[in-house]
Amino acid sequence: MKMGDRFEGHIVQGHVDCIGEVTAVKNLGNSFDVFIKVDKKYIAYIIPKGSITIDGVSLTVNDVNVDSFRLTIIPITMKETLFKNYKKGSKVNIETDMFARYVAHIIAHQTSSKNALSWDEVDTINAVY
């Protein structure tokens, strides 16, 4: 990818942030809803319509609750990935939304650091480049 190219799709790194547990798999006929529970501390990094990776499969999150989220899986994904083996109680590796993690990290360090950059300083740095 070159600078200036269109940037789209899911951005994943291949890390495992946490382990989730499948709480339900519902066959809707033309798709499947998969519900996954995670430790509440990771919900902040799981964004509705954001990216998530489950056992290496990059997906879009549909809904987020207090300690769980819902995915909708199309039949080809269900058939060709580990999703075909999932049932209630299955454990899965989860990589949360990369951008959510970055934003949380920046905010945490800006609020705890006396040397945090102001938005004017960020704009000035950006203008130089």
| pLDDT tens digits, 48-106 | 998 999 998 989 999 999 999 999 999 999 999 999 999 999 999 999 877 777 777 78
Domain that holds residue 61: 18-97
- The answer to the question of residue 7 being in a domain is no
Find the CATH number of the domain harbouring 66: 2.40.30.20
- The answer to the question of residue 47 being in a domain is yes
* Total domains, the chain: 1
SS3 35: strand
pLDDT bin (cut points 50, 70, 90) of residue 24 is very high
CA distance 82 to 56: 9
Residue entry with tokens 């995915």:
71
What is the reported pLDDT for 52?
Answer: 93
The more confident residue out of 4 and 93 is: 93
- The answer to the question of residue 34 being in a domain is yes
What is the reported pLDDT for 27?
Answer: 96
Residue entry with tokens 């056992």:
55
- The answer to the question of residue 108 being in a domain is no
The more confident residue out of 39 and 117 is: 39
- b/e map 46-78, b = 16+ CB within 10 Å: bbeebbbbbbebebebeebeeebbbbbbeeebb
Q: Share the mean pLDDT of the chain.
A: 86
What is the reported pLDDT for 120?
Answer: 79
What is the reported pLDDT for 114?
Answer: 62
Q: Evaluate if residue 113 carries a pLDDT over 90.
A: no
- The answer to the question of residue 123 being in a domain is no
- The answer to the question of residue 56 being in a domain is yes
CA distance 23 to 39: 13
What is the reported pLDDT for 70?
Answer: 98
- The answer to the question of residue 1 being in a domain is no
- The answer to the question of residue 62 being in a domain is yes
